[in-house]
Amino acid sequence: MPYVVAGATPDWTRHVEAAALGGADAIEIGVPFSDPMMDGVVIQEASQRALERGTTLESICEELESLGAEIPLIAMTYYNLFLHYGLGRAADRIRTAGLSGAIVPDLPLEESGEWRTACDASDVATIYMVAPSTPAPRAREIATRTQGFAYATTRMAVTGAASDDGDGPRVVATLRQASDVPIYVGIGITTPDQATRAASYSDGVIVGSALVKLILNGASTSEVERLIGSFRTAID
């Protein structure tokens, strides 16, 4: 599951299409926010560019409506954006735009009731994250509450490149004890070899900064398709 920052370039939706053609099973759509808590320098730069271009949740949804994606699209952003927009209105809007799930990393499980209710009413999956620092009982509770899949982070760090697998195997093993929900692993996975190792103990791999950096450097859609294709081939 690759990650694309919406609005980072004028042709960002074409990069989404290219990632799908490259073999992505689902795509995360990063909705830019001015004060992110878990984004590294690459994604922060992409978000800043998007905001400077005037990108908003509404503009993103309008552009996605004409996309016609045939794979699931998952929104990822911070709670203040949805709260400001109106929870029910936001959940309904992203669903009509073709997004089928949402990841909100700064919204704790205990405080997510209103958002989850809004998402349930609009048929949007509420996807929770589990970090290496999450106590085992809490991780198991999250595994039973998340919808669609659980997002297991490999390390206590912001997004970006890493040289090892971090705590991914341990986090996934803890989640497996509680539920058979699919588990996707993310943060630090930037090469096909890393993706292959992560796929050996999880159900999915999330690739963000490597793709975003390529796009920021002016990549063509064919280059995006080739990058995602290299991950697809390695995993398969």
Catalytic residue among 28, 141, 165, 225: 28
Domain 3-235 in CATH 3.20.20.70: yes
Please give the residue that has the higher pLDDT: either 87 or 42.
87
Known active-site residue 28: yes
Q: What digits encode the pLDDT tens for the residues 127-150?
A: 999 999 999 999 999 999 999 999
The stretch 64-80 carries a mean pLDDT of 91
> pLDDT at position 5, please?
97
Tokens (6 digits) for 14: 């074409």
Three-state helix/strand/coil letters over the chain: CEEEECCCCCCHHHHHHHHHHCCCCCEEEECCCCCCCCCCHHHHHHHHHHHHCCCCHHHHHHHHHCCCCCCCEEEECCHHHHHHHCHHHHHHHHHHCCEEEEECCCCCHHHCHHHHHHHHHCCCEEECEECCCCCHHHHHHHHHHCCCCEEEECCCCCCCCCCCCCCHHHHHHHHHCCCCCCEEEECCCCCHHHHHHHHHHCCEECECHHHHHHHHCCCCHHHHHHHHHHHHHHHC
21-30, 122-131, 158-167, 204-213: least confident range: 158-167
> pLDDT at position 126, please?
98
Catalytic residue among 17, 39, 141, 165: 39
Average pLDDT, the chain: 92
Please give the residue that has the higher pLDDT: either 88 or 160.
88
Is 68 a residue whose pLDDT tops 80?
no
| pLDDT bucket at 160, cuts 50 / 70 / 90 | very low
Known active-site residue 17: no
Is 159 a residue whose pLDDT tops 60?
no
Q: What's the Rg (C-alpha) of the chain?
A: 16
> pLDDT at position 187, please?
87
Contacts of 162 (CB under 8 A, 6+ apart): 154, 155, 187, 188, 189, 190, 194
136-140, 151-155, 207-211: least confident range: 151-155
Please state whether beta strands 73-76 and 27-30 pair in parallel, antiparallel, or not at all (unpaired). parallel
Q: What digits encode the pLDDT tens for the residues 82-133?
A: 999 999 999 999 999 999 999 999 999 999 999 999 999 999 999 999 999 9
Q: What digits encode the pLDDT tens for the residues 178-206?
A: 899 999 998 888 999 999 999 999 999 99
Is 165 a residue whose pLDDT tops 70?
no
> pLDDT at position 208, please?
87
